[in-house]
Amino acid sequence: MKRKATDPLPRLVESFFREHLQRVRGASAHTVHAYRDSLRLLFEFLSKATRRPVSKLTLEDVDVRHVLAFLDHLECVRRNSIATRNCRLAAIRCFTEHILRHDPTRAAQYQRILAVPTKKARIGAAAYLEPEEVEALLRQPDARATTGARDRALILFLYNTGARVSEALAVSKNDVEVVHPARVRLHGKGAKDRICPLWKETARAVQRVIDDVGDDDGPIFRNARGCPLTRDGVAYLLDKYARSAAREIASPARQKVTPHVLRHSCAVALLQAGIDVATIRDYLGHVSVATTSRYITTNLRMKREVLEAFWKRAGLDDRRAPEGRWRPTADVLAFLASL
In a domain, 275, yes or no: yes
Note whether 67 and 197 are same-domain residues: no
Sheet holding 183-187, edge to edge: 176-177, 183-187, 193-197
Decide if 247 contacts 136 (C-beta within 8 A).
no
Give the H or E element holding residue 300: helix 300-314
| Alpha helices (runs of H) in 223-299, residue ranges in sequence order | 231-245, 259-272, 277-284, 289-298
Note whether 247 and 205 are same-domain residues: yes
As a whole number of Å, the CA-based R_g of the chain is 27
Report CA 240 to chain centroid distance, whole Å. Answer: 21
Decide if 35 contacts 17 (C-beta within 8 A).
yes
Residues catalogued as catalytic? 164, 189, 260, 263, 286, 295
Note whether 103 and 145 are same-domain residues: no
Note whether 101 and 194 are same-domain residues: no
Could you read off the pLDDT of 186-207 as tens digits, one per residue? Answer: 988 767 888 888 999 999 999 9
225-251 average pLDDT score: 89
pLDDT of residue 280: 81
User: Residue 173's CB: how many other CB atoms inside 10 A?
Assistant: 19
Residue type, 232: D
Partner residues linked to 222 by β-bridges:
228
Q: How far apart are the first and last CA of the chain?
A: 104
**Using CA atoms, how far apart are residues 41 and 85, in angstroms rounded to an integer?**
12
Note whether 141 and 172 are same-domain residues: yes
pLDDT of residue 325: 54
**Using CA atoms, how far apart are residues 311 and 241, in angstroms rounded to an integer?**
39
Note whether 242 and 294 are same-domain residues: yes
Residue type, 323: E
CA dihedral defined by 286, 287, 288, 291, rounded to 10 degrees? -40
In a domain, 325, yes or no: no
Could you read off the pLDDT of 39-92 as tens digits, one per residue? Answer: 999 999 999 999 999 999 999 999 999 999 999 999 999 999 998 999 999 999
Partner residues linked to 193 by β-bridges:
187
Q: Which long-range contacts (CB under 8 A, 24 or more apart) does 6-10 make?
A: 7/57, 7/58, 7/59, 8/59, 8/102, 8/103, 9/57, 9/58, 9/59, 9/62, 9/99, 10/55
In a domain, 319, yes or no: no
What's the CATH code of the domain at 198?
Answer: 1.10.443.10
In a domain, 248, yes or no: yes
In a domain, 21, yes or no: yes
Note whether 78 and 158 are same-domain residues: no
Taking each helix axis from N to C end, the angle separating 259-272 and 289-298, rounded to the nearest 10 degrees, works out to 80
Q: Which long-range contacts (CB under 8 A, 24 or more apart) does 59-65 make?
A: 59/7, 59/8, 59/9, 59/12, 59/99, 59/103, 59/106, 60/106, 60/109, 62/9, 62/96, 62/99, 62/109, 62/110, 62/113, 63/109, 63/112, 63/113, 64/109, 64/112, 64/113, 64/115, 64/116
| Number of helices (H), then strands (E), in the chain | 15, 3
pLDDT of residue 1: 35
| pLDDT at residue 4 is higher than 50 | no
Give the total number of structural domains in the chain. 2
**Using CA atoms, how far apart are residues 317 and 326, in angstroms rounded to an integer?**
15
Decide if 61 contacts 50 (C-beta within 8 A).
yes
Closest CA to 124 of 256, 27, 251: 256
Decide if 219 contacts 166 (C-beta within 8 A).
no
| pLDDT at residue 300 is higher than 80 | no
Residue type, 7: D
Note whether 170 and 279 are same-domain residues: yes
Could you read off the pLDDT of 204-227 as tens digits, one per residue? Answer: 999 999 998 887 788 999 998 889
In a domain, 311, yes or no: no
Note whether 158 and 110 are same-domain residues: no
pLDDT of residue 336: 56
Note whether 56 and 165 are same-domain residues: no
Phi, psi of 21 (to 5 degrees): -65, -50
| pLDDT at residue 310 is higher than 80 | no
| pLDDT at residue 334 is higher than 70 | no
Could you read off the pLDDT of 87-120 as tens digits, one per residue? Answer: 999 999 999 999 999 999 999 999 999 999 999 8
Domain extent, residue 192, equals 131-301
**Using CA atoms, how far apart are residues 204 and 173, in angstroms rounded to an integer?**
13
pLDDT of residue 3: 38
Decide if 267 contacts 162 (C-beta within 8 A).
yes
Note whether 218 and 82 are same-domain residues: no
Note whether 48 and 191 are same-domain residues: no
Partner residues linked to 186 by β-bridges:
194
